[in-house]
Each structure stands twice: as structure tokens, then as C-alpha cells.
Amino acid sequence: MQHNPSQGSNASKPEPGTQPGHTQAGHPQAGAGLLFLREEEFRIAQDKLFFAFRDLNAAPDAILHELGYGRAHHRALHWIGRMPELKVGDLLLILGITKQSLARVLGPLIREGYVEQGKGKVDRRQRLLVLTDKGVALERRLFEAARERLAAAYREAGGPAVEGFRKVLRGMTTEQGRKYLDALEAARSQKGPRILT
Amino acid sequence: MQHNPSQGSNASKPEPGTQPGHTQAGHPQAGAGLLFLREEEFRIAQDKLFFAFRDLNAAPDAILHELGYGRAHHRALHWIGRMPELKVGDLLLILGITKQSLARVLGPLIREGYVEQGKGKVDRRQRLLVLTDKGVALERRLFEAARERLAAAYREAGGPAVEGFRKVLRGMTTEQGRKYLDALEAARSQKGPRILT
DNA sequence: AATATATGACAGCAATGCTGACTTATGTGC
DNA sequence: GCACATAAGTCAGCATTGCTGTCATATATT
């Protein structure tokens, strides 16, 4: 995950050790077989989401750390890159944090020239966020750090699996989040295919 | 996400607002169509993983907050529940944090009777972690809070999609993480089916 | 007996959440 | 045009959860 050089005597042996893994936690008195099977499947989803998240963020985290930034900065860069001219209010809704928490992350990004804010045309109270060239470059660097892992996963799993992957993740997302996913998709139908064909 | 009652004047309108979503961030001069298509697919994975994670944790977070705990406590409870008699060292490797960070989370869980530690039989330096009844109950409560969302996702997406979902997530996981996933799977082949049939 | 390992504990620092309170600019309704 | 609402920013203080460094204790290993 992070930086764990030697120190006193922290964890060491990278061997997972033969864990029994009883999968206890529940099953008071069996009987409703299908119910428990279902439950185990949900727990598997949690297990795997945890590991995927952990391992996908490891490389970007290291880069961010060098720059004195953290994951919160990455999230902001990601979403501003994904939706240029994103309004501050939308970014808050996406991230699910308070204005004050965002400020601490966005402030430095703006001051150090990774993000710029324009005034809204329709509503001039709004600030529309965009990445500067420097911001695009950093976002790209972070993306490339995770890319290999993503590519390997897609390659190993194959096209149909990827489709299922996306379908399930969408299913776990609230209606609010889906609106943003849909907006991205709509943007793709306009601009994406043009590149391909 | 968290608790955001009214305060001064924070974010308000829950309307996503019609975001353009140019999907800029990159594409200097097009040409290698397939490459960029590929890139967009990876970015979609990041988008969706973010939302799924955000929305899946919202309900458990609220419960944890009531108890004065946080996500870190949830992660510990989850993994100890999944792998009873988990060694402290293994938990550290799974979570990817330092011993000192774990201590702050595990200490309270033990003191308040959610987790117990037994001495290792083979190596008596080891502490084997298990959930107490109280711990099982809390873990279950947290699980149930996320369950509905998981169930909806699996239902909407369907069996083959779920298979793909798991395959892709595994692909994003390092070899180290896969060992633990495999250990869980091995445990299932021993005990799981017995319940079903 | 010497050394290595598994765990625990103390101290201090950093990143990133939160709440509360207040300001400034701008839009809207009447 | 005035009253009120909304978008955004800012200051202050607190909590959670990471990190580093240092040291202690029990138990294996050689």
C-alpha cells in the first residue's frame, strides 16, 4: 500500500500463512441453504472489491506521496479530467464530501497550477473546474500507473467478463451516481466513436 | 456518504446538473483509435469502482459512526470474520497498513469485546484473532446494511455478469491478495456445499 | 547462548473527513 | 429594487486513520 521500509520490527514474512478460513461469522443454524449461499456470494464481492481497490491504488498513491498529495487529490483530478467544466457543486456531490473538505484538496491543486476555475456562463456564481496542461499531465501519470493492472485484468478476464463487471458495478451505484455515469456515456456517443471509425 | 445536516450553506441541490463531460484529459492528437478506446474503457472501470465503493460503504459507515468506529474497524471485523484464527501478521498483510495503525483499531475492538485473541498452537508468539458473539453480531449488522445494495446489483446484472465481475476483480488483485482469495475458496469447497446439499 | 521473529506499545506527525460560523457574489421572486 | 436563496470560499477546531521511529516482551531458531 504505502511506504513501509524497515522500522523497529513491523510485519515481515510476506507469506500468507496457511489460513484455515472457516468462513464462520454467521450460519447460526443452517437450513435455508440458498440463503447462505447467496450471502457467501455477497461476501465474496466485498472481499474482491477490497483487494482490487487496494492494489489498484498502490501505484498512484506512491506518486501522489512524492508530490505531497494524497488520494483525495487524485479523486479530484480524476473527476475534473473526466468532466471538464465540472461545477464545484457537482464535484461535491460526486465525491460525497463537504465543501470544507474539498477546499483543502482543491486549494493546493489550484494554487500549484493543476486545476483552473472559470466563471460559469449561465450562472456566474458557479466555478467551472478544468485541468491545466500540468494537471492533465499529472492525471495521466497517475492513470498510467494503474493502467497496467487494469489492462492485465481486462486481458485475463476477456470481453464478456468486462461487460459483466461493469454491469454489476453500476448495479451497486445509487441513482445519483448513475446520472453521472450516464452523462459520461452520453458524451462518449458524441465524441468517442468519431475517433475509432 | 456521511452525515451532512444543514450547516451554514453547504452543497444543496441534489441535481447533477447537465454536465457536458467532454472526456478531455488526454487525446493529444488522435490516430491510434484502438489505444484510446482502450484507455476510455479503463477509465470507465475507475469511474464505476469509485461509485460502487462509495455507495456500498455509505450504510455501514453510518452504523459505525454511531458506535464511534470507522471504516478501518469494519475492515478488521470483516477479515477476522472471514478468516477466523487469522494471525495478526496476516491481517496486516491483507490490510496493507502498519502494525501501529492496526493497533489503534484492533485495541478498542478487543477492549470492547468484539474480537478475542487466542495464542497460536504451533507458534505461541502468534495471536489468533476471532470474533466474539458480539463481534459476529456487529459484523452481521454491517453486512446486512450493505446487503440490499449487493443483492440488487447481482439481481439486475444476472449470473453471468456476476461471474465476469468476480473474474475482473481478481485480475486487478496482486498475487499476494489472490493467495488469500484462494484460501477462502478452498475453505468453501470443504464446508460450503455441505450446507447446500 | 545469540539472534531472529511476532506482537505490543508510546510518541509525534500528516492527510482527510466533519461541524459550526460567516462572507461575498450573484440569481430569483415579487 | 428589495428580500431572500444559492454557489462558492474561508477560518477554526476536532476525529479518524494512515505513517515514522523507538523500544519491550515472549518465544523460536540456530
- Min Cα–Cα distance to chain A from B7, Å: 10
d(CA A142, CA A145): 5
Protein-proximal positions, strand C, CB < 7 A: 5-12, 15-28
The amino acid at residue B120 is G
Nearest to B48 among A37, A90, A181 (CB): A181
Q: How far apart are CA B123 and CA B54, in angstroms?
A: 40
Interchain contact, B98 vs A11, CB within 8 Å: yes
Amino acid at B44: I
CATH of domain B57-147: 1.10.10.10
Q: Is the CB of A192 less than 8 angstroms away from the CB of B140?
A: no
The whole-chain average pLDDT of chain B stands at: 85
What pLDDT does B12 receive?
37
What is the side-by-side strand order in the sheet with A86-87?
Answer: A86-87, A127-131, A115-119
Task: State the pLDDT confidence band at B193, using cuts at 50, 70 and 90.
Answer: low
The DSSP-derived string for B99-135 is HHHHHHHHHHHHHTTSEEEEE-SS-TT-EEEEE-HHH
- Span B108-130, average pLDDT: 95
Q: Taking 60 as the threshold, does the pLDDT of residue B68 lie above it?
A: yes
pLDDT beyond 70 at B196? no
Residue–nucleotide distance: B93 CA to C15 C1' (Å): 22
Tens digits of pLDDT across chain A (197 residues): 444 443 444 443 334 555 544 554 444 444 455 566 689 999 999 999 999 999 999 999 999 999 999 999 999 999 999 999 999 999 999 999 999 999 999 999 999 999 999 998 999 999 999 999 999 999 999 999 999 999 999 999 999 999 999 999 999 999 999 999 999 999 988 765 544 33
Nearest neighbour of A173 by CB, restricted to B36, B51, B84: B51
Residue B195: pLDDT band by 50, 70, 90 thresholds?
Answer: very low
**Residue A37: per-residue pLDDT:** 62
Q: What is the pLDDT of residue B14?
A: 38
How many Cα atoms within 13 Å fall on the side-chain side of residue A41? 20
Q: What is the pLDDT of residue B188?
A: 86
CA–chain centroid gap for B159, Å, is: 21
Q: Which three cell numbers stand for residue A127?
A: 466555478
Its sign, for the CA torsion A76, A78, A83, A84, is positive
**pLDDT value, residue B140:** 97
Q: How far apart are CA B174 and CA A52, in angstroms?
A: 8
d(CA B51, CA B58): 11
The domain ranges of chain B are 57-147, 158-191
Q: Look at residue B16 in the predicted model and tell me its pLDDT.
A: 55
Q: What is the ipTM of this complex?
A: 0.86
**Which residue would you say has higher pLDDT here, B70 or A19?**
B70
The CATH label, of 3.60.15.10, 2.60.40.150, 1.10.10.10, 3.40.640.10, for the domain at A60-147 is 1.10.10.10
pLDDT band at B197; cut points 50, 70, 90? very low
Q: What is the pLDDT of residues B7-42, one digit of tens each?
A: 444 443 334 545 544 554 444 444 555 566 689 999
Q: What is the mean pLDDT of residues B146-165?
A: 94
Q: Label residue B47 by pLDDT band (50, 70, 90).
A: very high
Report CA-CA distances (Å) from A131 to A138, A139, B95.
10, 9, 33
